[in-house]
Amino acid sequence: MTAVKWLLSGLIDLLYPPICISCEERMAGEEVICEYCLSGLEPTNLGNWVENITNHDHLDYANSGWYFDEIFQQMVHEMKYQESRMVAEIFGHKLGTLLRNELSRLSIDSVIPVPLHSARLRERGFNQSALLGRALSEVISIACSEDILFRKRNTVSQTKLGADERKQNMSSAFFAKDIGDYTRFLLIDDILTTGSTLSACAEALKSEGAQFVGAVTAGTPLPTKSTIKDIQNAEA
């Protein structure tokens, strides 16, 4: 049976060779994006820019790996809607490598992915933030905890909401429990726009005794290269 599967896999690759989701060039192996396109992602080099985020009331730190451009948008779409776990792993590992030195200075106890509501999780089949968090945690050698923070309301899509509406939409949407002796947490999500979701998560953790809550995301807008509509559609 193994030999048959191997032959079928080889035949499929021959008839439908893997192509890069960005440039559509053929690739060897099972990758979804080529190294050339991956190298085209633009690092933000922002450092801690939490004070510049619209809704950052409960966050102590915020950083993003890359600016949201066309290549990034294609990767996020592949990750969220084509169920490509490989894209999430690529993002998570590269994000960890990119920010490892800076994150090491934060003395983080645990990485926490932004949770989906159970209904959305059943619908999508996976949580892209959890996949990012697991990959990131491997690189920075800090445990990823998925049993501390939970979403108690299935909030409406943020796509067409303004900053104030997003903040209200996320109010009391999360709760935390059983944080144990942990006091310093790092949230992880795919996109950071107004910070409403991450700040609401931080509030839930601090209500249970957390002393420091930071956040990292794979991407954030670059106004000169991407539109708010593109960002909101990816965040929905």
Hunting for tokens 């959890």 — which residue is that?
A: 130
Each residue's pLDDT tens digit, 140-150: 999 999 999 99
Position 8 pLDDT exceeds 60: no
Is the model more confident about 195 or about 17?
Answer: 195
Work out the pLDDT band at 1, boundaries 50, 70, 90.
Answer: very low
Span 171-199, average pLDDT: 90
pLDDT at position 88 over 70: yes
Give how far the C-alpha of residue 177 lies from the chain's centroid of Cα atoms, to the nearest Å: 22
Pick the CATH number of 42-235 from 3.40.50.2020, 3.40.710.10, 3.40.50.2300, 1.20.1540.10: 3.40.50.2020
d(CA 111, CA 107): 11
For residue 15, what are the CA distances in angstroms to 7, 18, 78, 112, 202?
A: 12, 10, 21, 41, 48
CB 29 within 8 A of CB 17: no
Task: Give residue 160's pLDDT band: very low, low, confident or very high (50, 70, 90).
Answer: low
Domain limits, the chain = 1-39, 42-235
| Most trustworthy range by pLDDT among 64-78, 90-104, 211-225 | 90-104
Would you say residue 159 has pLDDT above 80? no
pLDDT in tens, 45-86: 888 888 888 878 899 999 999 998 888 888 887 777 665 778
| Mean pLDDT rounded to a whole number for the chain | 80
What share of the chain in percent tops pLDDT 90? 38
Burial of 107 (0-12, 13-18, 19+ CB in 10 A): exposed
pLDDT attached to residue 225: 41
In this model, does residue 235 exceed pLDDT 90? no
What pLDDT, in 10s, does the model give residues 107-132? 999 999 999 888 888 888 889 899 99
On the question of pLDDT at 40 being above 60, the answer is yes
